[in-house]
Chain A
Amino acid sequence: MKRRDALKVIGGTFAGLTVADRLGGYFTKPAYAEEKPAFHKDILSAPGGKRVVIIGGGFSGVSFANTLRELAPDAEIILLEKNPFFVSGPSHIDYSVGMKKLEDAVRSYYPLREKGVKVIKTEVGGILPEDNKVMTSKGNITYNYLLVSTGIRLADEEILQLSEHPAYNAHSWELEGTIELRRRVESFKGGKVVVSVPSAPFKCPPGPYETACLLDEFFKKKGVSAEVVVADANDKPQPPPLAQKWLTVFEKKGIKYMPNNKVVEVDGANNQLVTDKGEKIKYDLVTLIPPNKASTLIKESGLGDPFADVDPTTFKSKKFGNIFGTGDCAKTPYTKSAYTAFYEGKNAAHYAAIGMGYSVKEPVPIHNICYPYASSTESLLIRVDWEKDGKMLKATADDPKTDYRDSRAAWESTLLKSLFGA
């Protein structure tokens, strides 16, 4: 991407955001007033050679920062994160039905600061790989190495009326939606509950089906009459190898499953979803997960289209030797889950340290473990192991069990302890 094009993109990306208000009028000046807007000034001094910038403080970004801190003690590590706190994504589903308090899922970035990782709260508008610069709402930052771990983007614009009327929907794939969903679930008086699933791939593939199961259980326990329906854009529940297990769970619970129903419109005024075939699905409570896409930052920076094109072993960009990509924004054969994102960050840190000249052993290949809820007391099990080059080595799954429900709680708390120490 050329610098001039990038500047145009950045202008578009930041314009209209709350960031503009915080920057105190930079955006009110006419474009010709300055050669470059003031926020394109460097906000940090030139790097010394071991400056590593991380875009995104999710599971893989924080895991990368912690691991690199251990492997490269004298590296300057800077984490750029737009949110003030870390909120554990897997807990969103628990919170939406009252199984967990939100404060249990929230962590401060202070433990990273104590380890000498500089954490800057800022939006990132673009990357200039040829100049080794990240363009943030607070100014430019020059790097020697860069990790892109921006996660996924929810494409509301692919559901008609949703961008204009976001309040028509509430879902657990983002924090604000989760809080609103909880409120709606608590005040629901009965009727038809529709869980709408986008076409694969999407973050946390079992998530929508877990949501349907937990909502069904919640309303039954509360004595609220609810017909739970899963309207799925896919031909079967995801991930495909769990299809039969999910359908068996739905049959036992009386959850209605509707495959091949791709929702393209939420008509909140008439309480109905509209599919691509023009069919209408009435609802009294809806939780619609919009299509999951990569951040436009990836494509605009030339790192890949739409996901960052990286080597599945090292997570190094195939185009730029000093850039790495991990987690949901990277094009890899691994599942888009919190657990794999954590290990991707860890492994990428090893290869970044090797690249910086540290003597570091190669890490073990990626694996995934997940315990999707079939109810508040039982979880399924999935485990997948991959070879170093991303080829799937083995996979196992098991029916819902109480033991796996306990394992799920330990699974998430262990991940959070590894990231934040508590």
Chain B
Amino acid sequence: MNKLLTLFTVLIIFLLTCSRAIADNQNSIEYEKKVFVEREKVAFVEITSDKPIDIFIMYTPQYNSYCKSGSTEGAFDVKSITWYIYPIPAMFDDQTVFFIAKDGARFNITYENVKDRIDRLFKGEALLRSGASAFFKKGIDSIRLTQNLPELQIEIEASEDIPIMALKVMDYMALTRGLKSFEEIYNNTVLKGKKSLSFRAPDFDDLYIVVKSEKGVNIKYKTWANREAANSGC
């Protein structure tokens, strides 16, 4: 009986170890990730990290330069993120994109067919377009949401009960240049909320998500494409 119990225990430990190894393999920390996207596909690269990290996103010419000199100049960078979704559409041509995470990150890549995705949008489905979770430092901090479309659904959620607003560029400049206070703009702006904010983009204009916190705060945002947004071009 004891032998049987020991054997059973060893078997359980072995199975648990294997499953963890498989899980670790799927979610292993990587410092560089090459993502190849075949023509007519779109890749959604999901990046996660336990602590806020910076990511540098590069196409081949920028990556070659990085390999030669170590310089990330010319790369698109995102700062202090713990979760990020980056779409790579390959409508005309195969695409190769490199992700450099100097502190390491986990990558999960989902491929979809561009035409299927457009069909689903036109049938009325709402599809995740972009998203991020980032640490905003204490005081006033912000992030720019760009390449918006009219009717794009935007959802923002904070880890703390703090004021959130989405500003257009000239209001944002008035704030950052000290022409108006956070409170003055918050009281007069339309796209605002406490702890969370959900709205449809009014037009194509860039929006700045601006928050004010005492200790720093995690902000998560997602944008969802829909049929109406698709009619404006995706």
Mind listing 17 A-B residue pairs with CB under 8 Å?
Answer: A199-B146, A199-B206, A200-B204, A233-B146, A233-B206, A234-B147, A241-B91, A241-B93, A244-B93, A262-B144, A262-B169, A264-B169, A276-B169, A306-B150, A332-B231, A395-B92, A396-B92
Q: Which residues of B contact A (CB under 8 A)?
A: 57, 59-62, 64-65, 73-77, 89-93, 95-96, 114-115, 118-119, 122, 144, 146-147, 150, 169-170, 172-173, 176, 202-206, 208, 230-234
Residues of A within 8 Å of B234, CB to CB, are 333
With contacts A251-B61, A278-B176, A306-B204 taken as known, whether A200 is within 8 angstroms of B147 at the C-beta atoms is yes
Chain A neighbourhood of B73, CB < 8 A: 256, 258
**Complex partner residue of B62 from A247, A264, A305, A333, CB under 8 angstroms:** A247
Q: Which of A203-255 contact B (CB under 8 A)?
A: 233-236, 240-245, 247-248, 250-251
User: How far is B61's CA from A392's CA once the two chains are assembled, in angstroms?
Assistant: 29
- Contact between A331 and B232 (Cβ–Cβ < 8 Å)? yes
A residues adjacent to B (C-beta < 8 A): 157-158, 160, 199-201, 233-236, 240-245, 247-248, 250-251, 256-260, 262, 264, 276, 278, 291, 305-307, 312, 331-335, 382, 389-392, 395-397
Smallest CB–CB gap between A311 and chain B, Å? 9
Contact partner of A236 (CB less than 8 A), chosen from B76, B90, B91, is B76
Nearest opposing residue in chain A for B204, CB measure: A201
**Chain A residue contacts of B147, Cβ below 8 A:** 199-200, 234
Give the A-B contact count at a CB cut-off of 8 A.
113
Instruction: Among A241, A250, A391, point to the contact of B122 (Cβ < 8 A).
Output: A391
CB-defined contacts of A389 to chain B, threshold 8 Å? 122
What CA separation (Å) do A36 and B205 show in the bound complex? 36
Let me know if B232 and A333 touch, CB within 8 A: yes
The residue of chain B having its C-beta at the shortest distance from the C-beta of A330 within the complex is B232
| Complex interface: chain A residues within 8 A of B57 (CB) | 235
Q: Does A262 lie within 8 Å of B74, measured CB to CB? A: no
State the Cβ distance, B223 to closest chain A Cβ, in Å: 14
Taken together as a complex, chains A and B put the C-alpha atoms of A201 and B150 apart, in Å, by: 12
B146 near A234: Cβ-Cβ < 8 Å: yes
* Structural contact, A236 and B59, CB atoms closer than 8 A: yes
* Contact present for B91 and A395 (CB under 8 Å): yes
Nearest-CB residue, chain A, relative to B57: A235
A245 to B96 CA separation, bound complex (whole angstroms): 11
The residue from A158, A247, A248, A395 contacting B169, defined by CB atoms under 8 A apart: A158
